Structure 1
Amino acid sequence: MSIDFITLAPTVMQVFKAGDANPKKVKRIVYGQATSDANGIATLYFTDNALANGNPLLSTIDYAVASVYSTNPTINLRPRVQMREKNISGKYVSANITNISGVTVLGINVLGSENPVSGVIVDFMILGSFDL
């Protein structure tokens, strides 16, 4: 069994384990960061060139998770992250980033709505397989 670390881009690291029961497949863990756009969508491309036109590092995505970090003391202004898509071709994952706005009556938020938030850095962790 071996564990290899390969740096693919400044914010993407790949870890994979060789020597599984099926030698034609390798499990990989891919970590990366992406920034949300004006629509509140953060997309991480985990390809050999970190772009949509690159070759995928995974054949299948088994599991993906996203998280954001915020120290904002106002709960409504803290960004929230929700997984949006695991791409079927194993090239990218995306997440929605929102916060809540609304009317406050007697200290209670009533009529709240979720709004997209841009410029938020999202951490992604993806577990998948790659065919050798």
Structure 2
Amino acid sequence: MSVEFVLMAPTALQVFKAGESNPKKVKRIVYGQATSDANGIATLYFTENGLSNGIPLLTTIDYAVSSVYSTNPSINARPRVQMREKNVAAKFVSANVTNNSSIVVLGINVLGSENPVSGILVDFMILGSFDR
């Protein structure tokens, strides 16, 4: 049994087994980027037009992961990202972007809290199924 790859530049890689018993069921890997808003939420719409009203590139979301890149030397100022939502309709994923703030008393960080961070570019990788 061979495996076929179909590239859908620039955001999707489609993988399916040739000769599979259900040839209409395929897996896609979708990559995309989104910037966090004022509430620290980054949302990636993976539809044919990149908008919430578009036709989804996936039928179901099997797995999604997010990451953020930072070179800030201060550990408290570095943004952190965590997955927030995988949309049931398989149109989008979202993530929370935060950083840490605290008050320093005698050289010790106390009263730490997480705050939303806007304007941070978040990378998403989504694995899902697609019925052709």
TM exceeding 0.5: yes
Q: What is the CA–CA distance in structure 2 between the aligned matches of 1:22 and 1:15, rounded to whole Å?
A: 19
- Paired letter, 1:97: V
Find runs of 4+ consecutive structure 1 residues off by over 4 angstroms: none
**Structure showing greater Rg:** 2
Q: After TM superposition, give the deviation of residue 24 of structure 1 in Å.
A: 1.9
Local SS of the residue matching 1:129 = strand
- Paired letter, 1:16: Q
Q: What is the CA–CA distance in structure 2 between the aligned matches of 1:21 and 1:99, rounded to whole Å?
A: 48
Gaps of 5+ in 1: none
Note the 1:88-103 alignment, pairs <5 A. Answer: 88-103=88-103
- Paired letter, 1:15: L
- Paired letter, 1:4: V
Gaps of 5+ in 2: none
Note the 1:9-48 alignment, pairs <5 A. Answer: 12-19=10-17, 20-48=20-48
Q: What is the CA–CA distance in structure 2 between the aligned matches of 1:48 and 1:33, rounded to whole Å?
A: 15
Q: What is the CA–CA distance in structure 2 between the aligned matches of 1:123 and 1:103, rounded to whole Å?
A: 31
**Could you tell me the percent identity over the aligned residues?**
71
- Paired letter, 2:79: P
Q: 2, 5, 8: which is aligned to 2:4?
A: 2
Q: What is the CA–CA distance in structure 1 between the aligned matches of 2:90 and 2:117, rounded to whole Å?
A: 26
- Paired letter, 1:116: P
TM-score (norm 1): 0.93
Cross-structure match for 1:71: 71
Q: What is the CA–CA distance in structure 2 between the aligned matches of 1:73 and 1:107, rounded to whole Å?
A: 18
Q: After TM superposition, give the deviation of residue 102 of structure 1 in Å.
A: 1.1
- Paired letter, 1:71: T
Alignment length (residue pairs) = 128
- Paired letter, 2:118: S
- Paired letter, 1:109: N
